[in-house]
């Protein structure tokens, strides 16, 4: 539970002596559908005069005249009083011509987030980090986000290592509650070192944008020590050839007796074929349609391609191999469609079982993939103790492992790295190089043969 503190009877900055602080419960306002204010849920804080109180949390036991105000809720349509909303933040730009209309921190954050409104995964990630910092600033420091200093941000980075008190900041029992649920909290637990770095990167980008927009004078994170970028390690979260064969065997053993079972079987085959041949992300499966398929002739031979709009709304075309088109034809026939897609066809790449013509959600696709992986793990465990580690490995796998699996197989088959890069939609060939496992395998083999203990 999030708790704010207010001194009920002492004189506070901007308050008359004896002024009573309202202790009405937090409430939510309905948002306008279709606008940025209609992000999943809303926060309103009852904030208090007396900005120095939060700095004395270690002396809580001595503070007998404090009123506790409970309720921590998500960012959307948060309302704060003038003391905390940033309209007079110490880092606010004054006397300039700002490029955004925001007059307070909440609206400034929304203006920044609005740039990502069409990219859900990015929006969710960026909102999460801005939300966490804003909540921490007004609750733990009782100061506006636009008053945060470099030293404050150093303290916040330490806070990310272990958000505490846990009952205030961390969801119970490791569960991920919906944003509108009373048990929702900003964290599911301590952040890994990678997640901590990612949070700082996102917040640095937010502050830099607010400076450029003329809302802030300076970026308090720009003073942070810039660590030299380390070479990214090889990708390890992929299915090797043995596990990939086990997954395909699991799919082949799926029941096919009823019409519904056959439809599910062909859908799973098509989904995993799409993941493996094209190396697509799960968001690309749910966002794109059959209209992306097109055919070109090359020296009299027909070649099918799939145009994909992916991360950052970037478009790429991926070879749709004969194997992939065969799986697509089988799936489409089972759904009662023509074997090959028609130009401009709006049918989603993956459909629900039955007659509905809508795209599956990301969570639904995740569920399909996890069920196959869990069934594969179960089959492996039935073979005996020596297969337990392999079963545990496949249980950890997610849909994104299939993208890594596709990339790893392309590179191991000595495909031109530029072609692999373009198939996956990477900006840099350095990113693609993370999937080059053959050099590592050769290095291991040579070390094994030539670097011996000889005891």
Mean pLDDT confidence for 239-260: 94
Q: 78 burial class (0-12, 13-18, 19+ CB within 10 angstroms)?
A: buried
395-400: long-range contacts, CB 8 A cutoff, minimum separation 24: 396/237, 397/237, 397/239, 397/373, 398/366, 398/369, 398/370, 399/275, 399/282, 399/365, 399/366, 399/369, 399/370, 400/237, 400/281, 400/282
Return the structure tokens found at 307.
Answer: 């145009």
**Predicted pLDDT at 418:** 83
Task: State yes or no: pLDDT of 37 exceeds 80.
Answer: no
DSSP state of 234: P
Answer whether residue 398 shows pLDDT above 70: yes
Q: Which domains, ranges and CATH numbers included, belong to the chain?
A: 3-212 (no CATH), 241-446 (1.10.443.10)
Q: Indicate the helix (H) or strand (E) that contains 334.
A: helix 322-334
- State the DSSP code for 50: -
Do 104 and 80 touch, CB atoms closer than 8 A? Answer: yes
Q: What is the mean pLDDT of residues 141-158?
A: 95
Asked whether residue 96 carries a pLDDT value surpassing 90, the answer given is: no
Residue 53 pLDDT greater than 70, yes or no = no
53/114: higher pLDDT: 114
Tokens coding 99:
């490029």
Dihedral pair phi/psi, residue 352, rounded to 5°: -70, 160
Distances (CA, A) of 189 to 274, 280, 418: 34, 30, 40
Residue 414 pLDDT: 72
Mean of the per-residue pLDDT values of the chain: 79
What is the rounded CA–CA span in Å between residue 450 and residue 439?
16
- Enter the pTM of the model: 0.54
pLDDT at 179 over 50: yes
The 301-309 sheet, strands edge to edge: 293-298, 301-309, 315-320
User: Which residues lie closer than 8 Å to 286 by C-beta, 6 or more apart?
Assistant: 348, 349, 350, 359, 360, 361, 362, 365
Decide if 359 contacts 290 (C-beta within 8 A): no
**Residue range 445-455, pLDDT digits in tens:** 667 776 665 67
For residue 54, pLDDT beyond 90: no
Query: Cα 423 from chain centroid?
Result: 22
Residue 361: predicted pLDDT: 92
Q: pLDDT band at residue 433, thresholds of 50, 70 and 90? A: low
d(CA 298, CA 170): 57
Confirm if 62 and 109 have CB atoms less than 8 A apart: no
pLDDT given for residue 227 in this prediction:
57
- Give the span between the Cα atoms of 180 and 42, in whole angstroms: 8
Of residues 3 and 112, more confidently modeled? 112
Distances (CA, A) of 209 to 144, 153, 292: 18, 17, 35
**Which of the four pLDDT bands, split at 50, 70 and 90, describes residue 437?**
low
Residue 13 has pLDDT above 60, yes or no: no
> Exposed, middle or buried by CB within 10 Å (0-12, 13-18, 19+), for 226?
exposed
Task: Say what percent of the chain tops pLDDT 70.
Answer: 75
Sign of CA dihedral 357, 359, 363, 365: positive
Burial 145-163 (b: 16+ CB within 10 A, else e): bbbbeeebbeebbebbeeb
Q: What is the mean pLDDT of residues 399-408?
A: 88
- Tell me, rounded to whole angstroms, the distance of Cα 118 from its chain centroid: 14
Query: Is 223's pLDDT higher than 50?
Result: yes
Q: Where are the beta strands (DSSP E) in 36-135?
A: 66-70
Q: What does the chain come to in residues?
A: 455
Identify which has the larger pLDDT, 189 or 109: 109
Rounded (5°) CA angle 133-139-145: 45
pLDDT band at 422 (very low <50, low <70, confident <90, very high): confident
In whole angstroms, give the CA distance from residue 422 to residue 50.
Answer: 57
In the three-class reduction of DSSP (H, G, I as helix; E, B as strand; rest coil), residue 182 is classed as coil
Predicted pLDDT at 394:
92
Better-predicted residue by pLDDT, 96 or 34 = 96
Q: What is the mean pLDDT of residues 172-176?
A: 71
Say if residues 161 and 190 touch (Cβ distance below 8 Å): yes
Structure tokens at 79: 């309302």
pLDDT tens digit sequence for 262-317: 999 999 999 999 999 999 999 999 999 999 999 988 877 889 999 999 888 889 98
Q: What is the per-residue pLDDT across 14-24, written as a single tens digit (0 to 9) for each?
A: 333 333 333 33
The reported pLDDT for the residue numbered 273 is: 95
**Residues contacting residue 287 through CB under 8 Å, at least 6 positions apart:** 309, 359
Residue 83 has pLDDT above 50, yes or no: yes
70-84, 181-195, 318-332, 374-388: range with lowest mean pLDDT: 70-84
Residue, of 26 and 423, whose pLDDT is higher? 423
More confident: 254 or 300: 254
* DSSP-assigned letters across all residues of 142-176: -S-GGG--HHHHHHHHHHHHS-SSHHHHB-GGG--
Give the span between the Cα atoms of 411 and 122, in whole angstroms. Answer: 28
The predicted pLDDT at position 19 comes to 37
């Amino acid at each position: 539970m999030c708790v704010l503190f207010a001194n009920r009877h002492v004189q506070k900055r901007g308050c008359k002596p004896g002024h009573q602080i309202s202790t009405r419960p937090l409430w939510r306002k309905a948002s306008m559908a279709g606008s940025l204010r209609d992000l999943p849920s809303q926060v309103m804080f009852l904030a208090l005069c007396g900005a120095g109180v939060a700095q004395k949390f270690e002396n809580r036991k001595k503070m007998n005249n404090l009123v506790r105000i409970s309720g921590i809720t998500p960012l959307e349509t948060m309302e704060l009083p003038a003391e905390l909303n940033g309209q007079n933040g110490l880092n606010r730009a004054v006397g300039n011509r700002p490029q955004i209309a925001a007059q307070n921190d909440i609206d400034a954050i929304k203006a920044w987030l609005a740039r990502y409104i069409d990219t859900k995964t990015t929006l969710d990630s960026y909102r999460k980090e801005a939300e966490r910092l804003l909540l921490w600033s007004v609750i733990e420091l009782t100061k506006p986000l636009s008053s945060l200093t470099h030293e404050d941000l150093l303290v916040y980075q330490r806070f990310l290592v272990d958000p505490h008190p846990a009952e205030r900041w961390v969801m119970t029992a490791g569960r991920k509650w919906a944003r509108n649920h009373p048990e929702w909290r900003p964290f599911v637990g301590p952040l890994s070192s990678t997640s901590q770095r990612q949070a700082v990167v996102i917040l640095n980008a937010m502050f830099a944008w607010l400076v450029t927009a003329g809302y802030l004078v300076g970026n308090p994170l720009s003073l942070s020590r810039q660590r030299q970028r380390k070479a990214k390690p090889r990708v390890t979260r992929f299915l090797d050839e043995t596990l990939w064969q086990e997954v395909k065997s699991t799919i082949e053993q799926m029941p096919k007796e009823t019409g519904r079972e056959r439809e599910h079987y062909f859908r799973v085959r098509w989904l995993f074929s799409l993941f493996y041949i094209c190396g697509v992300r799960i968001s690309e499966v749910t966002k794109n349609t059959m209209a992306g398929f097109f055919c070109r002739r090359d020296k009299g031979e027909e070649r099918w391609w799939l145009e994909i709009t992916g991360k950052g709304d970037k478009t790429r075309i991926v070879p749709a191999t004969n194997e992939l088109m065969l799986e697509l034809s089988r799936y489409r026939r089972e759904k009662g469609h023509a074997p090959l897609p028609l130009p401009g066809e709006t049918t989603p790449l993956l459909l629900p079982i039955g007659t509905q013509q809508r795209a599956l959600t990301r969570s639904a696709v995740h569920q399909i993939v996890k069920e196959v992986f869990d069934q594969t793990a179960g089959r492996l465990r039935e073979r005996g103790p020596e297969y337990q580690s392999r079963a545990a490995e496949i249980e950890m796998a997610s849909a994104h492992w299939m993208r890594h699996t596709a990339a790893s197989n392309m590179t191991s088959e000595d495909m031109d790295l530029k072609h692999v890069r373009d198939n996956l939609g990477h900006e840099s060939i350095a990113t693609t190089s993370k999937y080059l496992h053959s050099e590592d395998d050769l290095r291991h083999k040579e070390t094994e043969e030539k670097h011996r203990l000889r005891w």
